[in-house]
Amino acid sequence: MLPFLIPGGTLLEAMQIGGRIPPTLTNHRWWEALVMPHQVWMLLVLSILLLREMVLHQRSVLVKTAQL
């Protein structure tokens, strides 16, 4: 949940503009596709994890009710 507590995108952009992150890193597609939208990727991961847990919980409920 840390990516949502810190304004990471703004911080990374300020560091990029200020020259603290070398242009050799920031001039790549993976920088724009993976690093900058890191909060979106974290939302996707969290959504997948929550859906997985919902399915596992539903299965365990069905197994328990079938045993009764």
pTM to 2 decimal places: 0.75
pLDDT tens digits, one per residue of 39-61: 999 999 999 999 999 999 999 99
Alpha carbons 25 and 22: distance in angstroms, whole number? 6
pLDDT tens digits, one per residue of 20-34: 999 999 999 999 999
pLDDT of residue 5: 86
CB 41 within 8 A of CB 9: no
CB 38 within 8 A of CB 9: yes
Domain ranges of the chain: 2-67
Query: At residue 68, does pLDDT exceed 80?
Result: no
Alpha carbons 64 and 58: distance in angstroms, whole number? 10
